């Protein structure tokens, strides 16, 4: 459709837009579950350290980042959770990474290592 002037073309376009049927768009409800980190039993374990750290970080990060951190830390709990802080060694972290690598693959193992290492002060 062509018109002589720009104003005529814009007026014709607006008239066509007004003739279009109104369509309502339904949005899916949000289904993401709230991430919850389980409480620790021992006050001087890695689990307690992770719990305090994630509670502290919660207010400064986006919800999706919080969910990612909680997921990574939950995967580390079976391997490091009840270990006392003073007894944690590099070999413990290496065992964690290799176990997560075997269970979940390299991408998840890398994420877990980054979160645990960042928590322990190694960036």
Residue owning tokens 């305090």: 52
Residue 45's DSSP bridge partners are: 84
Provide CB contacts within 8 A for 80, sequence distance 6+.
46, 47, 88, 92, 93, 96, 116
* Domain 33-119 is found in CATH 1.10.150: yes
Are 82 and 49 in contact by the 8 Å Cβ rule? The answer is: no
Q: Which residue from 86, 13, 12, 75 is spatially nearest to 38, judged by alpha carbons?
A: 75
- b/e per residue 57-90 (b: at least 16 CB within 10 A): eeeeeeeeebebbbebbbbbbebbbebeeeebee
pTM of the predicted structure, to 2 decimals = 0.67
Rounded alpha-carbon distances, angstroms, from residue 75 to 5, 12, 56, 65: 66, 61, 19, 16
User: In the structure, what pLDDT confidence band is assigned to residue 105 with cuts at 50, 70 and 90?
Assistant: very high
Residue-wise pLDDT tens digits, 14-64:
999 889 888 877 887 777 777 888 888 888 889 998 999 899 888 898 888
- Asked if residues 1 and 12 have their Cβ atoms less than 8 Å apart, the reply is yes
Q: What is residue 41's predicted lDDT score, i.e. its pLDDT?
A: 85
pLDDT at residue number 121: 60
């Amino acid at each position: 459709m062509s018109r002589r002037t720009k104003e005529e073309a814009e007026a014709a376009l607006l008239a066509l837009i007004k003739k279009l049927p109104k369509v309502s768009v339904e949005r899916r409800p949000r289904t993401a579950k709230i991430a919850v980190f389980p409480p620790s039993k021992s006050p001087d374990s890695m689990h307690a350290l992770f719990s305090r750290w994630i509670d502290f970080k919660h207010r400064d990060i986006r919800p999706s980042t919080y969910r990612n951190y909680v997921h990574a830390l939950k995967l580390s709990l079976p391997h490091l959770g009840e270990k006392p802080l003073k007894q944690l060694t590099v070999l413990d972290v290496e065992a964690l990474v290799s176990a997560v690598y075997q269970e979940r693959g390299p991408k998840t193992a890398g994420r877990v290592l980054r979160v645990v290492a960042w928590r322990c002060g190694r960036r």
